[in-house]
Structure 1
């Protein structure tokens, strides 16, 4: 194992092309999914927090339930839809990075929406009342509340990103773990470990651990700033 660690550090130090391509694809897929999920989820969270409509409570319950949805289930459903016999088979997205981005978007969406909703709902009512008393219209009120909830929203986004970087089930099902095309860090670690190629597996594991530590650092920093504010 010591030799594997040394060789893994060597791969990292020389910026091995295979290693870098896997890391780059992993980050590309996760960041793309995170941006899409944030663009969709945060407006939904705001509407659920600031509007009252008949199915609001049911919608919140569904979103909260989906936050714990197993990624392999997402991958399975998406695989059925994107397979040749599926209703979306004509798009020919299966075993492509696009399918992986869709899968991770579906995983991140309820997390960002649910935690974003909690953050916005947690804004002190006095803030809203003060904005209204100062003559704020609906748009100004919206941005005022979002600004107050910014730390909670940032925590939701960071938490979703942490979930995506560690996810393997869904992207393995819809991506197929194809070398040079859909192989990301988590799926590569699983495969290289099965093959006994611990050098690359350990190197990728170290990168994944570094990303996890960075995510946890940002989460802690954001939460401290939010508590101070």
Structure 2
């Protein structure tokens, strides 16, 4: 218990005193997970909308793949992405291995099925006649889809939060494709694992608390947006 308390005190000390390395790692964590979440939203929400609105052969199979992807182990994703980006892999000529972009790609692959699955659930919960009513009132296809997205805002923000939570907390894929390089690809999760490996549990606890503070701040912002959207709909 004392070690946890001392870790919290050290985390606050590092933040208050503006430790350059901790801030650098924290900012990189936000950038990588933020870009990965945005990319997954750009992929997942349209896929969820398409699945919610369309009926076609193989839809259940595709949904089962998305549900399977929601529980895909990050280390497996890291392995496949690294094989693609490795020097002799299909995308090796891009030179993305052990870069921030490799981490963003791996995290986006992890988060996209989560966002797609929860977006499908949110949009499927709407009245199926709503889209037909919008089209009958003269709305264009894209206008009707946009209004449906706005109507399902609460559920879609929950999907975004789940996607962000899935990537900001993962470590396996980031270690495999990023390499945990100081000043380049080291984020809070990989830094914590490294410090544990070195036996520096006090620093590892401090970094863990910094990660929790960062995650809580972002989730609190998204929760505020979610609740403000709820009030607007009343």
Q: Same fold (TM over 0.5)?
A: yes
The corresponding residue for 2:74 is 71
Q: Can you give the 5+ residue segments of structure 1 that lack an aligned partner in the other structure?
A: none
Question: Do the aligned residues in 2 keep the contact of 1:82 with 1:91 (CA within 8 Å)?
Answer: yes
TM-superposition CA deviations, 1:109-143 (whole Å, max 9, x none) = 10111101111111123433432443333223212
Match of 2:175 in 1: 172
1:54 corresponds in structure 2 to: 57
Mapping for residues 20-169 of structure 1, pairs under 5 Å: 20-169=23-172
Deviates more, 1:46-55 or 1:110-119: 46-55
Contact 1:8 1:199 in 2 (8 A): no
Alignment partners' CA distance in 2, 1:42 and 1:3:
42
Larger deviation, residues 187-196 vs 202-211:
202-211
Aligned-residue CA RMSD in angstroms? Answer: 2.3
Match of 2:12 among 2, 9, 12: 9
5+ residue gaps in structure 2?
A: none
Q: Which moved more, 1:20-29 or 1:52-61?
A: 52-61
Tell me the TM-score normalized by structure 2. Answer: 0.88
Residues of 2 paired with 1:128 and 1:116: CA distance? 16
CA contact (8 A) 2:26 2:214 kept: no
Deviations 1:73-111 (A, max 9, x none): 000111111112222222221111110000001011101
In 2, distance between residues paired with 1:110 and 1:33? 13
- Cα distance change of structure 1 residues 23 and 215 upon mapping to structure 2, 3 Å threshold: closer
Q: Secondary structure at the match of 1:34?
A: helix
- CA shift for structure 1 position 4: 4.9
TM-score of the aligned structures, taking structure 1 as reference length: 0.90
